[in-house]
Amino acid sequence: MTSPLGRLRFGIFGGSFDPIHEGHLRAAEGACERLGIDRVLLIPANLQPLKDGYADANHRLEMVGLATRDRQVLVESGIELRRGGTSYTIDTVRKLSHDLGHLVDLFLLMGTDAVRDMPRWRNVSEIFSYVTPVVLERVGDDPMDWDDLAGRLPTGLADKFRDSMISLTQSIEVSSTEIRRQLAAGESISGLVPAAVEGYIYHNGLYGTARGQEETGGDFR
């Protein structure tokens, strides 16, 4: 996965980010290190087609901005919020390819859970006419059943995903679902999200916390 001399390499990393956490950030940074990617655009969905949302999309974009503000290679993007409606990856990669394709090579970063859901994605073959897949395998991920996936995807696509997989040894076992559970139960999430994101959650009363409660004192403005 090399780019012609002079062309930049941009990663596209989308999801609910509900909330964004250290696992997301380490995965994106790990992809940059392993593949020589220059920037990763972290793109929160406006409305996820395959799962329910918890925090408002504008809150989630704010948290992505806070999480990435001191990380040089990671940049938040509100492209799916600006488009509105249900967020489909095909619409996003078409737009980014149109706007940036003459300048950069685009890589779609995906966790293994996203790959398992790939048969349910819209226009899945067309997506990968615009971008190169990168499957991020994190510590604790369940093994992929590539034969099963191959039977549910267009010919050759599962092999393309398998060949693109990279294992991230510096990842951590954390999920947005577990973070929301801990917050609702009044448990600490220190270290699972950046301090500024944690402060923002408590200040805005997200995920069952008491609005205005200051848990960490992090600068979230």
* pLDDT of 13: 98
* pLDDT of 141: 86
Q: Is residue 195 part of a domain?
A: no
* pLDDT of 5: 60
101: nearest Cα among 77, 125, 132: 132
Range of the domain at 59: 8-174
Q: Is residue 208 part of a domain?
A: no
Q: Is residue 212 part of a domain?
A: no
Q: Is residue 150 part of a domain?
A: yes
| CATH number assigned to the domain comprising residue 118 | 3.40.50.620
* pLDDT of 217: 45
Domain count, the chain: 1
- CA angle at 55 for the pair 168 and 183, rounded to the nearest 5°: 70
Q: Which residues of the chain register pLDDT less than 50?
A: 216-217, 221
* pLDDT of 79: 98
- Give this prediction's pTM: 0.91
What backbone phi and psi angles, to 5 degrees, belong to 36? Answer: 65, 35
Q: Is residue 209 part of a domain?
A: no
Q: Is residue 220 part of a domain?
A: no
Work out the number of other CB atoms within 10 angstroms of the CB of residue 211.
Answer: 9
